[in-house]
Amino acid sequence: MIITIDGPAGAGKSTAARLLAERLGFEFLDTGAMYRAVAWACVDRHVDPHDSAAVSETVASISIQFEDERILCNGQDVTTEIRSAEASHAASIVAAVPAVRLEMVRLQRESAAGHNYVTEGRDQGSEVFPDSECKFFLTADPGERARRRLQELQSRGQSGAIEDVLNQIVDRDERDRSREIGPLVMAEDAVEVDTSGQTIEQVVDFLERTSRERLGSSNLTTG
Ligand code: DC
């Protein structure tokens, strides 16, 4: 069984998806981390993220694996590196390269086959797992998303000005929404959840309740 959670940057998807997976006894797939790993490999090899041919060659030459909560690129733990400002920026550019999307979608479907997963990203309900019976689309107003992103950066010892974070979020949203393949879009059968002003507990309670209703409690572990 697959539960998909999509939405723009800073809407609270990762935290919500991780907690929902824990409550249901599912595995959790952070697909943004996969695009970030490709971006990190490009930065590491001095490949221009706008150079589609070079990015396509890079994605064909790397392996991406998850080990517990860590992400490995060619066996190297890049969990921290993929969260840098440089990798974040490059991720939203390489994510528009068709060869990158094809490979990430293939890996996501392969990982999820035969497992119970909560997957989180931009295209999970619309493109990657269109048959999922339980899809969510998380949103929040841009100001709140920028505040959350800044808190996340600060918790990792990084700093930034709220205006810059907001501008980056608006830019990334625009790139994510306007790309031709796998754009950020709400699946027609997704449940939209506006997380503005809600605590993470409130959001996860709602997601858990709705998931249990949709998937049938008998198939799920009790919380
Ligand atoms: O969720 P995130 O910020 O870690 O995602 C990093 C980038 O990857 C973001 O710019 C959008 C892109 N992405 C994507 O295109 N498709 C996904 N399924 C997940 C993320």
Give the CATH number of the domain where residue 36 resides: 3.40.50.300
pLDDT for position 64: 96
Would 58 be classed as within a structural domain?
yes
How many domains does the chain divide into? 1
Q: Is 91 exposed, middle or buried (0-12, 13-18, 19+ CB in 10 A)?
A: buried
| Rg from Cα positions in the chain | 17
Mean pLDDT over 67-96 rounds to: 93
Task: Determine whether the shortest distance from the Cβ of 8 to ligand 1 is under 6 A.
Answer: no
Taking only the tens place, the pLDDT of each residue in 118-144 is 999 999 999 999 999 999 999 999 999
pLDDT for position 222: 56
Task: Determine whether the shortest distance from the Cβ of 36 to ligand 1 is under 6 A.
Answer: yes
Q: Residue 27's beta-bridge partner residues?
A: 117
Using CA positions, which residue lies closest to atom 2 of ligand 1? 32
Would 90 be classed as within a structural domain?
yes
Would 218 be classed as within a structural domain?
no
Q: Which ligand 1 atom is at minimum distance from the Cα of 92?
A: 10
Domain enclosing residue 167, as ranges: 2-213
pLDDT for position 221: 62
Question: In this structure, what are the phi and psi dihedrals at residue 131, rounded to the nearest 5 degrees?
Answer: -90, 0
Would 223 be classed as within a structural domain?
no
Task: Determine whether the shortest distance from the Cβ of 123 to ligand 1 is under 6 A.
Answer: yes
Q: What is the pTM of this model?
A: 0.92
Chain centroid to Cα 69, Å, comes to 14
C-alpha 222 to ligand 1 mean position (Å): 31
Task: Determine whether the shortest distance from the Cβ of 12 to ligand 1 is under 6 A.
Answer: no
C-alpha 93 to ligand 1 mean position (Å): 10
Q: Which ligand 1 atom is at minimum distance from the Cα of 124?
A: 18
Rounded CA separation 217/158 (Å) = 42
Tell me if residue 195 falls in helix, strand or coil.
coil
Q: Which of 35, 102, 180 to mutate to test the pocket of ligand 1 (most atoms within 8 A of CB)?
A: 35
Would 130 be classed as within a structural domain?
yes
